[in-house]
Structure 1
Amino acid sequence: MSEPWPGRAAAPSLDDIARLAEEAFAALPDLFRRMAGDIVFRVDDFPDEEVLAALEIEDPFGLTGLYQGVDLGRRSVMDLTAEPARVFLYRRPLLDEWAERGDVTLAELVTHVLVHEIGHHLGLTDEQIDRIEAG
């Protein structure tokens, strides 16, 4: 692995990934954080079966993160939002990708996935997010 996990005999926990996500979010530019608003972050080991089925993903390791909610570009002041906008990070797929790649730290990977999913919250497509990251 490219990044040691000091003092740990076990893989990083859900709480460890959540801490990395909180640190990544806090390090983002203020404007980006304000635009994200009251988004909720959640870390699970894997996406649930319903999510995988809805996205037609067979391998639970194939999804590292997910935005769930109505993106800001499609919201209206008339909308009644029953559920908050959420970004899910999936620990086991993140750890698997981190171990396989070996060219990024776990913090960098968590930041990348978090920013990508917040991009969806802001109404950006995968292609737009990729162009922004490439620039």
Structure 2
Amino acid sequence: MSEQAPLQFAPDAARIEALARAALARIPEPFAEHLKEVVLLVEEFADDETLDAMGIEDPFALTGLYHGLPVGEKSAWTGVSMPDRIHLYRRALLDEWVETGVGLDALITHVVVHEVGHHFGLSDADMHALEEAAGA
């Protein structure tokens, strides 16, 4: 009798969050110091309001999103507001993972670093360098 491979299930939100937190932990200083107050949220998909605001029709097209003011745009005169947030969209991430064959850890690191880059107002080249420093 042959052995069957164990059942494999898509990673749940807790697993995605754990991978994202590990990616955040690998981001070097001076960036890491400014990420302590950023809230990380894992949701199945972006909501309709978010998709509409971004002009995106397909919810699978958005894997992550940064909400907040970039660090350089904050000042003592900025009023009380929601904390900066990084949203990761689980189903879109899983879809991209399957389509691309990129490792899930590497994909999540890429998306997290990209969203962190928005937090700092970084260019694409700067984000690429940060991604390399974060071990993606």
TM-score by length of 2: 0.84
For the residues of structure 2 that align with 1:131 and 1:121, how far apart are their CA atoms?
15
Which consecutive aligned stretches of 4+ in structure 1 deviate over 6 angstroms post-superposition?
none
Shift of 1:18: 0.4
Superposed displacement of residue 73, structure 1: 1.5
Over residues 17-56 of structure 1, what are the superposed CA-to-partner deviations in whole Å (9 max), with x where a residue is unaligned? 0011111111222322113241110000000000000000
Where structure 2 has 5 or more consecutive residues not aligned to the other structure, the ranges are: 1-5
- Select between 120-129 and 20-29 the one with higher mean Cα deviation: 120-129
| Structure-2 residue corresponding to 1:12 | 11
Q: Which residue of 2 aligns with 1:61?
A: 60
Number of the residue aligned with 2:33? 34
Partner in structure 1 of residue 109 of structure 2: 111
8 A Cα contact 2:113 2:131, kept in partner? no
Q: The residue matched to 2:30 in structure 1 has which SS?
A: helix
Percent of aligned positions that are identical:
46
Q: Which amino acid aligns with 1:26?
A: A
Determine the structure 2 residue equivalent to 1:82: 81
Any conservation in 2 of the 1:36–1:122 contact (CA below 8 Å)?
no
Q: For structure 1, list consecutive stretches of 5 or more residues without a partner in the other structure.
A: 1-6
2:86 pairs with 1:50 = no
1:99 is aligned to 2:98: yes
SS in 1 for 2:57: coil
Total equivalences in the alignment: 129
Partner secondary structure for residue 69 of structure 2: coil
Q: TM-score, normalised to structure 1's length?
A: 0.85
C-alpha separation in 1, matches of 2:70 and 2:33: 15
Partner of 1:24: 23
| AA of the residue aligned to 2:64 | G
The structure with the largest alpha-carbon Rg is: 2
